[in-house]
Amino acid sequence: MYYDLPDLRLVAAIADSGSLTRAAARIHLAPSSASHRLTQLEATLGVPLFARHARGLTPTPAGESLLRHARQVFAQLEQMHADLAPYASGLNSQVTVFANTNAINCFLPEDLGDFLHEHPRIRVSLEEQPSPAIIQAVAAGQVEIGVVAAERSLSGLETQPYRRDRLVLIVPSGHPLAGRSAVDFAEVLDQPFVCLHAGSAIHTFMMNAAAQLGRSLDVRIQVRSFNAVCRMVAAGVGIGMVPNSSIPAILEASAGAAVNALKTVKINDAWAPRDLQLCVRSRAALSPAAAALFDHLAEKGGADFGAVD
């Protein structure tokens, strides 16, 4: 079957206006031409797309199905135009990066900001994903650069140390755990948690860590940032888990108001240290822009790849 864009635009215009005449005017077709196009399209499909009645035309179930796909096509075209437009203004290239929650919230904003300041004609597409999904996407060639927590499954990819960090618990200062220097994750699974929103990489990680212990996480509330997690914990809503590196920035942003309201507790589990790695299929095979970004991140991160208490 053959469809062209004027056919799809006509179907959408008829559905929006309820009238063949108004639809034809909207997309700059003569009414006779619009009628001929609709008749031919229905004949090709072998099914009516619109029910004709005195008040105009309404989509049939088949018409609704075609309309849904047509709108998806238009959305993809708009995205294509948006992606291509910068090239007409002198954009050199685009680099796709997948990173976990920790990297996106704690390290990449400043590092990418510096890079884009130095390379104003390069565009970076950044998306948050869990580390296993990032590794899979990089290995499949769907993404040029990944930033992940170090995992055994990185074999087959080229890696470079990026940042060293660890996950810690935060609790209100008056909480029974506030006097502990370290705990096992299993010890706190009966506590209500403040978590990042479902779908975030760290939320997925925490749920999986609990499931591996045969337990489930008691999520009292979900929020959109580590800052919000800390504020909810300070208010006594529950306990939270955040990267250790996020805490200084959060306290600075809140002008120290939460300093006396929160206590940090180390997690003993082997997964708590979260050394971040850059990963690529092959550094030599990267585009010039991706190679420049990879080297920039490696240099920025390598300088700070020290021990975390």
* Residue 25 or residue 80, greater confidence: 25
Name the helix (H) or strand (E) containing 221: strand 218-223
* Stretch (H or E) spanning 194: strand 192-196
Q: What is the CATH number of the domain that holds 293?
A: 3.40.190.10
Q: How many domains does the chain have?
A: 3
User: Which helix or strand (DSSP H or E) is residue 127 part of?
Assistant: strand 122-128
202 in the same domain as 73: no
Question: 256 and 177: one domain?
Answer: yes
Q: What is the CATH number of the domain that holds 41?
A: 1.10.10.10
Identify whether 30 is part of a domain. Answer: yes
Q: Are 215 and 243 in contact (CB under 8 A)?
A: no
Single out the residue of 44, 12, 46 nearest to residue 26, CA to CA.
Answer: 12
Range of the domain at 209: 167-267
Looking at the fold, whether 209 and 256 belong to one and the same domain comes out as: yes
C-alpha span between 239 and 169 (Å, rounded): 7
Q: Do 237 and 260 sit in the same domain of this protein?
A: yes
Q: Is 80 exposed, middle or buried (0-12, 13-18, 19+ CB in 10 A)?
A: exposed
9 CB-near residues (< 8 Å, 6+ apart): 27, 70, 74
Residue range 120-170, pLDDT digits in tens: 888 899 999 988 899 999 999 999 999 998 766 787 899 999 999 999 999
Same domain flag for 121 and 241: no
- The answer to whether residues 180 and 107 belong to one domain is no
The last residue of a domain, from among 88, 116, 148: 88
Whether residues 127 and 150 fall in one domain: yes
Strand 93-99 versus strand 122-128 pairing type: parallel
What pTM was estimated for this model as a whole? 0.67
Nearest to 126 by CA among 106, 110, 109: 109
- Residue range 5-30, pLDDT digits in tens: 999 999 999 999 999 999 999 999 99
3-state secondary structure 34-74: HHHHHHHHHHHHCCCCEEEECCEEEECHHHHHHHHHHHHHH
